[in-house]
Amino acid sequence: MALIIACLSQKGGVGKSTLSRAIATEAWKSGLSVKLADLDTQQGTVAEWHRQRLDNGFDSVGSVEIFNNVDKALASAEGFDLLVLDGTPRASKGTLKMAQCADLVILPTCVSRDDLVPAIRLAYDLEEKKVDKRKLVFALVRVTTPAEIQDGRDFITQSGFSVFDGCLLEKPAYRLAQNNGLSVTETRYKTLNDKANELLESIIEHLQQG
Ligand SMILES: Nc1ncnc2c1ncn2[C@@H]1O[C@H](COP(=O)(O)OP(=O)(O)OP(=O)(O)O)[C@@H](O)[C@H]1O
Ligand SMILES: [Mg+2]
């Protein structure tokens, strides 16, 4: 049975696909067999990104496919080491199902209250529906200053949830990399790649503790 990581949110545009791509990329590079499932049939962002990646001559990150239902995505992961589920822009029935079957649920969020409040609401909702709280972990994405990062962390922890140590800074270079089919760990700038990898290391650490 594949290890399952789901990137989920209530609100769109918070970094689910960005993190899904980075996780798949680094897992593949570390030698795992990876299935990256894009549940967003309307946009197919991750599938399109992977097509771009291959088109530009970069290595595959595994098997990338679009699914219109969670069960099909789960069935497709047979024989893989890791299944990464990239959730839909809005929380749906499938969101709960993904959270239930995942070993780790990553809830990416930016730090404005507009983003944090719905993110916390989704976490409460999942907890209420009996998803084990220990596997729900927030990831701070598109953050800028240390003060902003601390503010986001405080908001999440005071709401009773945990948040990864690393975070993803808001940088045009991350967008540019993704435009070309690369992940946020593969930009032209070593410092940015290292910074993105810190977040991925926090994710791996959490999985090892779990
Ligand atoms: N750290 C960052 N710095 C700059 N731009 C970023 C960063 N992270 C994500 N982005 C950009 O923000 C936008 C939204 O990110 P992404 O597509 O990962 O979010 P999403 O949650 O998957 O969105 P959707 O809900 O539509 O599926 C994208 O254009 C992406 O390139
Ligand atoms: Mg997306």
Distance CA 43, CA 174 (A): 20
* Percent of the chain scoring above 90 in pLDDT: 92
End-to-end CA distance of the chain: 16
Centroid of ligand 1 to alpha carbon of 129 (angstroms): 28
Centroid of ligand 2 to alpha carbon of 135 (angstroms): 21
Centroid of ligand 2 to alpha carbon of 11 (angstroms): 10
Domain segments of the chain: what residues? 3-209
- Torsion, CA 153, CA 113, CA 22, CA 32, rounded to 10: 60
Predicted confidence at residue 51, as pLDDT, reads 96
| Minimum-distance ligand 1 atom for the alpha carbon of 14 | 21
φ, ψ of residue 84 to 5 degrees: the values are -105, 120
Q: Fold for domain 3-209? A: Rossmann fold (3.40.50)
Q: Whose CA is nearest to atom 3 of ligand 1?
A: 170
* Ligand 1 binding pocket, CB closer than 6 Å: 9, 12-18, 40, 45, 89, 141-142, 168-171, 174-175, 178
**H helices within 60-145, ranges in order?**
70-76, 93-101, 113-128
Tens-digit pLDDT profile for residues 44-95: 899 999 999 999 999 999 999 999 999 999 999 999 999 999 999 888 889 9
Distance CA 5, CA 36 (A): 10
Q: Report the SS3 class of residue 101.
A: helix
What's the mean pLDDT in 28-33? 96
| Minimum-distance ligand 1 atom for the alpha carbon of 172 | 4
Beta bridge partners, 88, equal none
| Minimum-distance ligand 1 atom for the alpha carbon of 169 | 1
Say whether pTM exceeds 0.75: yes
Query: How is residue 27 written in tokens?
Result: 């897992």
For residue 87, the number of C-alpha atoms closer than 13 Å in the C-beta half-sphere is 30
Q: Which ligand is nearest to the CA of 8?
A: 1
Instruction: Tell me whether strands 63-66 and 162-169 are parallel, antiparallel or unpaired.
Output: unpaired
Q: Report the SS3 class of residue 175.
A: helix
**How many Cβ atoms from other residues are within 10 Å of residue 167's Cβ?**
23
For residue 113, the number of C-alpha atoms closer than 13 Å in the C-beta half-sphere is 0
Query: How is residue 132 written in tokens?
Result: 């084990």
Q: Which ligand is nearest to the CA of 183?
A: 1
Centroid of ligand 2 to alpha carbon of 171 (angstroms): 18
What's the mean pLDDT in 92-120? 96
